[in-house]
Homo-oligomer: A and B are copies of this chain.
């Protein structure tokens, strides 16, 4: 056995003894014939490798109450809220953990043979926290262009990652998220290969999408996916959400902006009626999330508690406005 293998094996064994067997590192050290410090390092190594997964099989009552509320008011099949954990190293880990589990279950079930995947940091983190699984017959397809306008690869693309995680086949859409113009979009859409990929995407059994907020620091701006001119146009309109590349107002209606003729990916109307899982996190996504929910296409909502809190109060306002 090679040294690296042997070290790894030892690390895994130490991890088992520590987490499953609940032995102390001292006991493990004695049993394995190494120093306690080494045991600690072995376990730390195994953790960094992502070999060890924790799972808390419950959520605080406050979260569950909000889940119920959202599910009722917005007719959701499922709603899960990751508890707020204060300022931690990785702010996505909570939502990623809960969404990862959900997605894992969804993909295990034999209902899904083809899954359409969107983009975003939260989605990326979600897939990172999923346990290994084998489901080679699954099709993983991109539902939106996954390049920047400069045609460089988008670092938040998750198809690749999910594909290799489950040993499945992946289909990218090698076009930008947003075309430069309506004409350029039509040019992309005229391509046979793009048409085929979009048709394939449309035929998915389930979709997993992120929700984009519109702020100056949102990744659309930061990553130069849209120009400042386009952004100003958005600001003039009532747009508060980028949902699947379309810009909508808080009622979930499309806004009359030129950008709405530039997205290359699937339209949210293309997925209406299918299983649509939305994953989002951060209180600043509240308006956007409400807007996306109001399109009525989302069936499953996975968010963190901060967003949930904010969303809850926004929904209160929405109701009192409607009542008036």
A interface list, Cβ under 8 A from B: 1, 5-6, 8-10, 12-13, 15-17, 19-23, 27, 31, 46, 50-62, 82-83, 85-86, 88-89, 93-94, 97, 105, 108-111, 131-132
Contact = CB atoms under 8 A, between A and B. Distances in A.
Contacts of A31: 86
Q: Interface on chain A toward B: helix, strand, loop, or mixed SS?
A: mixed
Contacts of A62: 9
A52 B57 contact: yes
A1 B62 CA distance: 10
A8 B64 CA distance: 13
A85 B9 contact: no
A16 B51 contact: no
Contact of A10 (B22, B59, B60): B60
A5 B52 contact: no
B55 A55 contact: yes
Nearest to A88: B21
A58 B12 CA distance: 7
A94 B18 CA distance: 11
A50 B56 CA distance: 9
B57 A132 contact: yes
Nearest to A133: B105
A60 B12 contact: yes
A16 B62 CA distance: 14
Contacts of A56: 12, 15-16, 19-20, 46, 51-53
Nearest to A31: B86
A14 to B, nearest CB: 10
Contacts of A15: 56
A27 B88 CA distance: 10
A61 B7 CA distance: 10
Contacts of A50: 57
Nearest to A2: B61
Contacts of A55: 52-55, 131
Contacts of A23: 85-86, 88
A42 to B, nearest CB: 12
A55 B108 CA distance: 17
> Which has the most chain B C-beta neighbours within 10 Å: A9, A56, A57, A93?
A56
Nearest to A131: B57
19 contacts: A8-B61, A9-B61, A10-B60, A12-B56, A12-B83, A15-B56, A16-B60, A16-B83, A19-B54, A20-B97, A21-B94, A46-B56, A50-B57, A51-B58, A52-B56, A52-B57, A54-B54, A55-B55, A110-B111
A132 B59 CA distance: 13
A16 B85 CA distance: 7
Given A86-B31, A105-B108, A108-B105, A94 B57 contact: no
A133 to B, nearest CB: 8
A262 B88 CA distance: 62
